[in-house]
Amino acid sequence: MIDRTTIERIMSAADIVEVVSEFVTLRKAGTNWKGLCPFHNEKTPSFMVSPSKGICKCFSCGKGGNVAHFLMLHEQMTYPEALRWLAKKYHIEIQERELTAEDVRQNNLRDSLLIVNKWACDVFQNNLFNTTEGESIGLGYFRNRGLRDDTIRTFSLGYALQARTALADQAAKQGYNPDFLIETGLCLRTDEGVLKDKCRGRVIFPIQALDGKVIAFGARTLSSDKKVAKYINSPESLIYHKSDVLYGIYQAKASIQKEDCCFLVEGYMDVISMHQSGIKNVVASSGTSLTYGQIRLIHRFTSNLTVLYDGDMAGIKASLRGINMLLEEGMNIRVLLLPDGDDPDSFSRKYSPEEFHAYIQQHQVDFIRFKVNILMQDIENDPLKKSSVTRSIIESIAVIPDALTRSTYLKECSNLLDVSEATLVNETTKQRYAFIEQRKEEQRRKQQGNDINQPAEPLTSTPQPENPLNSPTPPTLEPHLSQPQDAVSQCEALIIKVIIRYGECNMAFEELEDGTQKPIKIIEYITDELEADQIEFKNPIYRKILEEAKLHLSDPGFKASDYFMIHPNQQINLIAAQMISDRYQISENFAKERNFSAEIDKLNATVPLLLIDLKLAIVTQQMKSILKSLQDPALINNTELYTQQMMEYQRLKDIQKMLTSLGGDRTITT
């Protein structure tokens, strides 16, 4: 594992804005940066990055944390993997202690698949350029398609030899595990137990993730036999989820962000040919139906998308549902219809980049107008067909999240369809309401599905058995404070928040015999109060934070927020990141004008109240438990025990009244 000193060096060197900007388009927002959240469906930016605090957070879904947490969430890394990624980026050497067997297994599994894919990609490229078969067949094919060698290398294109076991034999010689070859879809095992190449005799299109790693392959046959599948693709695996991948995104992401626009095409060659022609902000869905994951991948870099179609009307109509999904995600959609007989690949080869750009500017149209024009071709003055077309148009407009955009489209469609605007508005309102209710129901069912396996939290003030903090299975990175909590847990969370933010600050002063004053730190005050009443946090992570805060308080230069933000335990450092994040910051001038007191200036009043709230929550919980036990027939028949419970209930009720009086008439919220 990585020692704390190295973690401190890594986290000190890492620039969270620089790292997050590699994956999300950020814009300056005061002292912070803002962008569309990469972790959920969002139209209005609520993902904030604070360079001063070194944290990011979405104030809609709640996900975020420090720079390592971001990488863990976004790239599906483990905590050590995220630290290694940052160390490599900022040229920091890592000295690690020995990993557990489970750590090694988890790390090696993903790494092994990526290593095998990278090796296979190199083999395919070598076949293409350095073998007689590859040059004559594979390279000949690509050059006949008009590709230059530099373009071929940019996309790492390759060729799989026709020999039945060419790749498998090379893998065996170099010691690669055959299970990984099967897992990645490069090979398959016959009934006789022989490892056989899956893509033999085909040209190879490596599929790369955002970071450029090869996660899958597409392989095109050069045979004219119609019984042979034209394309075969890698199966889903630990490293490849096709619904979240777009072909060409690695080569296109910088250009998409620069141009603030993305072109969406269908196939590998469409992307490659357009890239070679100078249009580099282009990606492909690779022949699959467009998914929300792919749409959100584009939306990280731009809200503007132009979909390119050839003249196939059947294909265009079949893809309209995917366009509705784009509209639902808040994308600005335009459509470019290429001349009959042309696709993006062939069109790129016919015309110069300047001519292609000119054609795009002259012929791309807004999607709604395009859809109206396409569907209106079939109505033939049939009122029922016109009604069906109108309903289809309304369905598209209804999913658009922006009300002003919907209104603008309805005005235009009223003229195009010759239907009164009032009628369209009325029907769109109904469709919009139905759509929102449908999404709410889907979210509710999803939430129920997520909660069904979650054990109910016991209503007890005694601590529960602590889970191993160094478990090889990484804990969830869901927002900790947004999870359902009882009153005791909420109070514990608020106290821990104060400790992490201000634990080392002075709470009060103790008068000594010599007349001097000894400062009492917030951590000291809280621990003394809890120990006096024999209260121990029920949450094991909060308990550990409090113990470590007390232990390290005397360390020179100890600052709780810094200490816990880079804690080796990822649960603790995530909680710390969440607890120091604020959505809004009050400027110094505004605070002076309004005479606002800083949060830290109110702690001598706030902290005692938080402790009272915790004690009150524990007492109330115990009272509820007693009331429940009093309903037990066995207890009712035991007069002595029943009386004892009633007396205990009355004692707790007196304490509750006292605490309520001390706390005053107020509400403390999380």
Q: Give the CATH number for residue 80.
A: 3.90.580.10
Same domain for 500 and 545, yes or no, is: yes
Query: Residue 273: its pLDDT value, please?
Result: 94
Query: Residue 452: its pLDDT value, please?
Result: 37
> Is 96 part of a structural domain of the chain?
no
Query: Residue 132: its pLDDT value, please?
Result: 95
The parts of the chain modelled with pLDDT lower than 70 are 1, 95-100, 102-107, 287-288, 311-315, 317-319, 321, 446-485, 582-601, 663-670
Same domain for 203 and 287, yes or no, is: no
Contact call for residues 555 and 510 (beta carbons, < 8 A): no
Number of domains in the chain: 4
Query: Residue 9: its pLDDT value, please?
Result: 79
Rounded CA gap, 638 and 189, in Å?
A: 71
> Is 19 part of a structural domain of the chain?
yes
Nearest-CA neighbor of 116 among 49, 154, 168? 168
Query: Residue 139: its pLDDT value, please?
Result: 95
Same domain for 639 and 506, yes or no, is: yes
Same domain for 630 and 510, yes or no, is: yes
> Is 122 part of a structural domain of the chain?
yes
Same domain for 300 and 369, yes or no, is: yes
In the DSSP assignment, the letter for residue 602 is G
> Is 442 part of a structural domain of the chain?
no
Same domain for 73 and 116, yes or no, is: no
Same domain for 113 and 63, yes or no, is: no
Of 413, 434, 455, the domain-final residue: 434
Rounded CA gap, 484 and 490, in Å?
A: 9
Q: Which domain holds residue 61?
A: 4-89
> Is 203 part of a structural domain of the chain?
yes
**Host H or E run for residue 508:** strand 506-511
> Is 440 part of a structural domain of the chain?
no
Give 3-state DSSP helix, strand, coil % of the chain, rounded to 5: 55, 10, 35
pLDDT > 70: percent of the chain: 86
CATH number at 379 reads 3.40.1360.10
CATH number at 219 reads 3.90.980.10
Query: Residue 598: its pLDDT value, please?
Result: 56
Same domain for 272 and 233, yes or no, is: no
Same domain for 488 and 637, yes or no, is: yes
Task: Write the pLDDT tens digit of every residue in 529-570.
Answer: 898 888 889 889 999 999 999 888 887 778 888 888 888 888
Of 240, 267, 282, the domain-final residue: 240
Cα 576 to Cα 74, 370, 417, distances in angstroms: 19, 50, 57
Same domain for 235 and 270, yes or no, is: no
Of 180, 209, 240, the domain-final residue: 240
Same domain for 637 and 489, yes or no, is: yes
> Is 471 part of a structural domain of the chain?
no
Same domain for 270 and 192, yes or no, is: no
Query: Residue 104: its pLDDT value, please?
Result: 65
> Is 511 part of a structural domain of the chain?
yes
